[in-house]
Structures are given as C-alpha cells and as structure tokens.
C-alpha cells in the first residue's frame, strides 16, 4: 500500500482529537517528540497553567530571591521589604538581557550588566545611565519596570504563578486533588526547604516522567535491584504475594524474579487513584500497603487528621499536580521542566519539619538524599526508561505504535467523596490515563470554562 | 640545602608517590568494575559526600556548595556505599546493564595537611563515561579526601566530591567518584 505523504501545510495539531483515547486507553507517540506539539504545550499548557515557583521558606530575608522557570520564561521570585513576595520576568525592559544570573541568593538591586539599567528588588526601574544627558528624560521610568507575571499566589507556603490573567484562583485551580497533594507535604509539620535543590537533565519528554510518578506497576521491575532485601533504606516492607509472574525471562534465560516479598504492586495491594479537575491526580497505595514512606507517623497525628480529613490520611500514593509537579512519599517535590521535546530538567525540592530535633532532621535529610535525584537508589534506574521511550517515538514505523495505558480500563468506579474523586482498587493505570486525557483538553480547549467542564472526572474510567 | 631539609623533602616525595600509587590503584579498580575491592579502601567510619553546587553571584559565593546536613547528590556512609555495590551485583540494576564504561583521571594531587595519622589531600578528577550507543558524560571537579594511615597502607576515611556543574547534565550518577 502506498503511504500517503502528508501535505506540508497540514498541522499535527489538527489531529489532537485522535492523539489520546480515553475509551481505548491509548496515546499517540507523536506527542512525545513532535516539535509543533511541544511548542503548543509551552503556549497552551505552560502559558496558562499555574506553575510552582518555590517555597516560602526559601525567601527568608528581604532581597532573597529564587529563579524559577515558567515555560520558556525565567522568573525572579523575590522577598520584599514589607515581607510580601513579588515575581517578575528576569529580563531587562531595555534590550531583554537577564538582570540576574544567579539561581538563588540575596540582592539589594538587580543590575542589567549590558547598559546598566538598575532595578529595585520590587522590579521598579530606578537608574538609567544618561537618563538626563542622553535620553533627555523623555520617558517615565515607571513605564519600564520589570514585567510582573500575570498572577502570583501561594497555598500553604507553596508559591505559584501563571502567565494568564484569566486563570482561575489558585485554590480553585488546585481543587481537592491538587490541594491534597500539597497537603501531603505541608501537614507533616512546619515545613521548610532543606538548602540545595537537586537539578539534573534527562533526555526524555516531560510527560513520560510525569506519568511515571503515578505508575505503581513499574517499581518491582525498574527498581528490582533497589528492592532486594537490605538495599533500599527504610523500614522492612510487608510480604505480599502479589501477581502472576509466568514466563518473565531475562536476556540470559534466567527468570526475572521480581522482588516478590517486597513488591509494590499486585492484587493484594490496596490502591487509591484520585482524579482531579484540570488533570491533577494521585496514584498509588493506601497506608494499608505500608510502602514508600520512611516515617508515616505524621499521618496518624491530630494535625494530619484535621488538615487532610480523617478519610484522606490513608492516601499514600504519589500526587501529580498538572502539568509538571510530582510529590514523592518522602515529602519531596519534583518539577519536570520541559526544555525541548526530548530534554527535561528535574528539580527536586526537599522538605523537613523545622521543629525536628537534630537526629530526626538528619535522618530526614539523608532519606531525601538517598532515594531520589540522579544518584538516588531508586531514581537512577528511572531515567534511561524515559529516555529510551522518548527515543522510540521518532521512528517512522515505531511512532505509529500507540502507547498503552489501559490496565483496568473501564473498571475504575469513581466515588465522589466531598469533592475528591477517588477509585478504591488495586494496581491500575487510571491516573496516568486521566493525565493524558486532560493534557488533550488543555491542548484543545480555548476557554477556562470549557477546560474545567471537560476535565470533570467521569463516573468510570 | 641542609641534610635535614633534604631528608624532609625526600619524605615528601615518597609520601607523594605513595598517595599517587594509591589513587592510581583506586582508579583502576573503579574502571575495571572491581567494586568489592574498591570499597575495602574505605574505613568503617567513612563518609562519602557530593554537595550540590549552585550558580551564585559574588556576594553569595560562600554559599556556592551545600554543606553536610543539607541536600547533596551523594550523602553516604560505608553501609550505603556497600548497598550500592550490592545493588550492582543483583543482575537487575538496569542503569548499569549494559555497564557504563568509565575512565577516572586523577591529577594535581596536593597534600593540604598531615598530622601523622591522617592526611588531607586535594586532587582534581575527570570522570569520563560512555554508555549504550552514544551516551556521553564528562564530570570534572576536585575531591578532598582524608586519607588514614592503617596497617597495610592508606585508607579513605572521608571523601568530599566537588563537581563543577550546577545543573547536572546527566540522567544519573550510577558510577563512583
């Protein structure tokens, strides 16, 4: 059969409707490597969504700043003299040069090192070389302040920004599912960021990483080595005879031998999938499965019960806040920052309760350092899966093979519990499929009302 | 030059030679993937730490590296190093199967202090790694070691690895430094 050549004028974006199928549980591989799709994501998703910038504890003193990324924009988040926080583009209003080249620190002012325009920590243009002699005072300096981002707000110390002045309020955007995700860090205590953000690059599409955060089918294979007895630090995991393992053979012919006794998925592994508006979701076990957390004691305290709600403290999986936040059971937050279709930066923010004694603080820090990040006992085995998955979306033939996200398809009964849409089940792929469904709606819907209504969780998935 | 000075200089040359031979041996063990022998070079109380480096302006440059007790790429004791090696031996450590091909180049070895029992030694490293078809990593930086004189030779009691990159341009750090 002759292959039909695509017309040059035809855009892949005309085909978005067929890229994700909620009824089939499939995703087109083109969405992971097509430049046109990527550019549209930067505009339609990262140009509209609320995006995590940094945590309040990173900005202790007046002038403390952190450089965040919003799509392709570099944004300075700065503590003001009056204690408030401001966020503006790190770009001089004269020629566009960055006014700050450090990733964090403390500033008395921001100087553009090109021609010397100088801005206050509030972003106001203060000094212009030759303002009187060369410009003849022809313009109002206040017209050229650093450009503030459209909206800035925080939830329980987590600062977010959006480029869209029309975006709904942060609280509404997060909804029950997104807020619960952040609550899972905030309700552990008086949380602060431990100094040092781990930043590294994986040659993968950001969506492969993001859906993996919700994936509890992979740990006992991807992390088979880490889950052998005595390697992964933390409490001993329960013995769970979890799933059939027939005909699983390695290259040398030996049986794969998934870590049977320290498994992380299977039929006896109670899971909760949470589906949220705008594409937020939570995937993973309940506390009955007792995995992933070093110290789950915070869940049983009065604070968590009051703040999360008694019937929500059992949700122990990984929250994913659309588009690119992953929250780990270690109480860490990872951003997956898209740089190109096949390049993503990973930024890990690690949190600790500032009231912990020295010994418990140290063990929290060590746990954070040991599990995730590029050298993390778990995460070091993830990156190549995502990079290789991305690479296989380029082939003329391989890109036509759909990505399957259909485990338990049609079996997910969604229960609305006070606005939180949860599915109580076993290991599944519901939240990943939900993420891609909502991704499609973000790419296709022009208005917030349309987006909100088309990402209302269904009764079954 | 007096005899005393000559003797002292000769001692330094011998010490320098001993340290160099120790590091060359260690590099060989790593490049040949003889990890079980490599870990025997560490004392039982050893610490192995790779802080994060940050792009900071001049006025904040003192905070460029994170400190112990803060976030790091490696924050290991000997037990965790042993776990990493055990993990590599499971036959299921996919980030090292096929294995990385590494070359550890150690230069500019300088003794910073020596109290007779322990020496503080600074050296530069270039760890070159290739994996799979075309994956390539170059990690350059310096290490500050505390080398302890034990019966049978030198051992590493403390290692801090200062890497030059801030945003690490690598998918993982599944090798040792």
pLDDT of residue A8: 55
pLDDT tens digits, B157-174: 999 999 999 999 999 999
- The H or E element that residue A260 is part of is none
Residue B76 contacts residue B47 (beta carbons within 8 Å): yes
Checking if the pLDDT of B105 tops 90, the result is yes
A2 — pLDDT class (breaks 50, 70, 90)? very low
pLDDT of residue A1: 41
Is the bond preceding B98 in cis, omega lying within 30 degrees of 0?
yes
- The H or E element that residue B123 is part of is strand B118-131
pLDDT tens digits, B65-86: 999 999 999 999 999 999 999 9
Q: Which residues of A touch B52 (CB under 8 A)?
A: 196-199
Residue A337 contacts residue A42 (beta carbons within 8 Å): no
Output the CA–CA distances (angstroms, integers) from residue A98 to A27, A121, A342, A426, B36, in the order listed.
38, 14, 25, 49, 49
B1 — pLDDT class (breaks 50, 70, 90)? confident
pLDDT tens digits, A414-433: 999 999 999 999 999 999 99
- What is the mean pLDDT of the segment spanning A379-401? 95
- Average model confidence (pLDDT) for chain A? 93
Instruction: Please check whether residue B175 touches A, CB under 8 A.
Output: no
> Phi first, then psi: what are they for B44, rounded to 5°?
-60, -30
> Phi first, then psi: what are they for A245, rounded to 5°?
-135, 35
Give the tokens for residue A33.
Answer: 């490597």
Among A348, A370, A380, A394, which would you mutate to test the B interface (most chain B Cβ atoms within 10 Å of its Cβ)? A380
DSSP secondary structure letter of residue A142: G
Checking if the pLDDT of A262 tops 60, the result is no
Is the bond preceding A323 in cis, omega lying within 30 degrees of 0?
yes
Round to whole Å and give the CA distance between A50 and A169.
9
A236 — pLDDT class (breaks 50, 70, 90)? low
pLDDT of residue A401: 97
Residues 6+ apart with CB under 8 A from A301: none
Taking residue A68's Cβ as centre, other Cβ atoms within 10 Å add up to 25
Give the tokens for residue A246.
Answer: 């027939």
Instruction: Please check whether residue A229 touches B, CB under 8 A.
Output: no
User: CA A164, A160, A58: angle at the middle one, nearest 5?
Assistant: 150
- What is the mean pLDDT of the segment spanning A263-291? 86
Residue A274 contacts residue A177 (beta carbons within 8 Å): yes
Checking if the pLDDT of A260 tops 60, the result is no
Checking if the pLDDT of A294 tops 80, the result is no
A357 — pLDDT class (breaks 50, 70, 90)? very high
The helix/strand/coil state of A415 is strand
A234 — pLDDT class (breaks 50, 70, 90)? low
Nearest by CB: A350 against B71, B86, B174:
B71
pLDDT of residue A239: 54
Round to whole Å and give the CA distance between B94 and A77.
39
Q: Chain A: give the shortest CA distance to residue B149, in Å.
A: 29
Asked if the Cβ–Cβ distance from B92 to A233 is below 8 Å, we say no
Q: Which residue of B has its CA nearest to A196?
A: B71
- Greatest CA separation for chain B: 61
Answer yes or no: is the ipTM higher than 0.90.
yes
Q: Chain B: give the shortest CA distance to residue A326, in Å.
A: 17
> Phi first, then psi: what are they for B11, rounded to 5°?
-60, -40
Q: Chain A: give the shortest CA distance to residue B137, in Å.
A: 12
Q: Which residue of A has its CA nearest to B87?
A: A225
Output the CA–CA distances (angstroms, integers) from residue A193 to A78, A102, A352, B69, in the order listed.
16, 18, 7, 12
Checking if the pLDDT of A92 tops 70, the result is yes
Among B95, B161, B177, which would you mutate to test the A interface (most chain A Cβ atoms within 10 Å of its Cβ)? B95
Round to whole Å and give the CA distance between A205 and A203.
7
Between A1 and A377, the more confident residue is A377
Residues 6+ apart with CB under 8 A from A324: A51, A52, A206, A210, A335, A336, A337, A338
List the strands of the sheet with A26-27, edge to edge.
A20-21, A26-27, A403-404
A280: nearest Cα among A454, A77, A439, A97: A439
- What is the mean pLDDT of the segment spanning A54-73? 98
pLDDT of residue A110: 98
pLDDT tens digits, A157-213: 999 999 999 999 999 999 999 999 999 999 999 999 999 999 999 999 999 999 999
User: Which residue matches tokens 């993420």?
Assistant: A435
Round to whole Å and give the CA distance between A125 and A128.
8
Round to whole Å and give the CA distance between A91 and A99.
6
pLDDT of residue B67: 97
Count of A–B CB contacts within 8 Å? 141
Q: Chain B: give the shortest CA distance to residue A194, in Å.
A: 6
- Alpha carbon A153 to its chain's center: 18
Residue A6 contacts residue A30 (beta carbons within 8 Å): no
Helices A35-44 and A430-444, packing angle to 10 deg = 80
A266 — pLDDT class (breaks 50, 70, 90)? confident
A73 forms beta bridges with A70
A269 — pLDDT class (breaks 50, 70, 90)? confident
Checking if the pLDDT of A293 tops 80, the result is no
Round to whole Å and give the CA distance between A392 and A412.
30
Instruction: Please check whether residue A105 touches B, CB under 8 A.
Output: yes
Nearest by CB: A365 against B70, B76, B88:
B70
- What is the mean pLDDT of the segment spanning B43-60? 97
Q: Where are the alpha helices (DSSP H) in A297-342?
A: 302-308
Give the tokens for residue A300.
Answer: 């049983």
Interface of A with B in 176-195 (CB under 8 A): 194-195
A422: nearest Cα among A267, A265, A276: A276
pLDDT tens digits, A34-61: 999 999 999 999 999 999 999 999 999 9
- What is the mean pLDDT of the segment spanning A130-157? 98
pLDDT of residue A386: 97
Output the CA–CA distances (angstroms, integers) from residue B149 to A118, B11, B30, B152, in the order listed.
56, 15, 21, 8
Residue A234 contacts residue A392 (beta carbons within 8 Å): no
């Amino acid at each position: 059969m002759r292959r039909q050549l695509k017309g040059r004028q035809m855009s892949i974006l005309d085909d978005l409707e067929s890229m994700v199928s909620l009824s089939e549980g499939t995703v087109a591989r083109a969405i992971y490597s097509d430049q046109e799709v990527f550019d549209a994501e930067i505009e339609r998703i990262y140009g509209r969504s609320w995006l995590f910038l940094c945590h309040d504890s990173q900005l202790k003193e007046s002038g403390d700043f952190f450089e965040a990324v919003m799509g392709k924009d570099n944004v300075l988040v700065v503590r003001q003299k009056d204690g408030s926080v401001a966020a503006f583009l790190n770009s001089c209003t004269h020629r566009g040069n960055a006014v700050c080249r450090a990733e964090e620190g403390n500033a008395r002012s921001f100087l553009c090192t090109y021609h010397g325009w100088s801005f206050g920590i509030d972003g106001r243009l203060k000094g212009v070389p030759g303002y009187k002699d060369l410009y003849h005072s022809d313009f109002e300096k206040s017209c050229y302040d650093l450009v503030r981002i459209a909206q800035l707000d925080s939830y329980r110390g987590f600062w977010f920004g959006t480029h869209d002045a029309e975006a709904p309020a942060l609280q509404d955007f997060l909804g029950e599912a997104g807020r619960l995700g952040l609550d899972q860090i905030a309700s552990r205590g008086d949380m602060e960021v431990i100094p040092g953000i781990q930043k590294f690059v994986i040659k993968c599409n950001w969506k492969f990483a993001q859906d993996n955060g919700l994936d509890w089918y992979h740990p006992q294979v991807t992390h088979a080595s880490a889950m052998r007895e005595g390697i992964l630090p933390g409490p001993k995991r329960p013995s769970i005879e979890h799933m059939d393992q027939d005909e699983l053979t390695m290259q040398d012919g030996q049986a794969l031998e998934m870590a049977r006794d320290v498994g992380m998925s299977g039929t006896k592994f109670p899971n909760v999938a949470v589906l949220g508006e705008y594409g937020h979701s939570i995937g993973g076990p309940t506390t009955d499965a007792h995995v992933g957390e070093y110290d789950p004691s915070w869940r049983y305290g009065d604070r968590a019960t009051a703040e999360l709600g008694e019937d929500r403290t059992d949700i122990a999986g990984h929250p994913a806040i659309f588009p690119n936040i992953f929250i780990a059971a270690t109480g860490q937050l990872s951003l997956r920052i898209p740089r190109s279709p096949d390049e993503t930066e990973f930024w890990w923010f690690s949190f600790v309760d500032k009231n912990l004694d020295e010994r418990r603080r140290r063990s929290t820090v060590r746990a954070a350092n040991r599990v995730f990040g590029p050298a993390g006992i778990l995460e070091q085995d993830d990156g190549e899966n995502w990079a290789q998955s991305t690479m296989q979306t380029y082939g003329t033939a391989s890109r036509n093979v759909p990505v399957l996200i259909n485990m338990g398809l049609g079996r997910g009964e969604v229960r609305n519990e006070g606005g939180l849409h949860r599915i109580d089940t076993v290991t599944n792929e519901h939240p990943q499929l939900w993420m891609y469904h909502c991704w499609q709606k973000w790419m296709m819907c022009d208005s917030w009302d349309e987006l909100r209504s088309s990402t209302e969780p269904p009764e079954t998935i | 030059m007096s005899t005393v000075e000559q003797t002292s200089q000769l001692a330094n040359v011998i010490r320098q030679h001993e340290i160099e031979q120790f590091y060359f041996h260690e590099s060989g063990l790593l490049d040949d993937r003889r990890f079980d022998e490599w870990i025997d070079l560490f004392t039982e109380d050893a610490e192995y730490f790779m802080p994060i480096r940050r792009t900071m302006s001049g006025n904040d440059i003192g905070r460029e590296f994170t400190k112990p007790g803060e976030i790091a790429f490696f924050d290991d004791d000997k037990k965790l190093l042993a776990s990493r090696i055990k993990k590599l031996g499971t036959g299921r450590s996919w980030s090292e199967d096929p294995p990385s091909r590494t070359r550890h180049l150690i230069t500019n070895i300088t003794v910073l202090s020596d109290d007779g029992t322990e020496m503080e030694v600074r050296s530069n490293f270039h760890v070159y790694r290739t994996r799979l078809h075309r994956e390539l990593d170059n990690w350059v930086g310096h290490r500050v070691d505390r080398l302890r004189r034990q019966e049978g030779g030198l051992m590493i009691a403390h290692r801090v690895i200062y890497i030059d990159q801030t945003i690490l341009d690598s998918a993982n750090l599944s090798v040792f430094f």
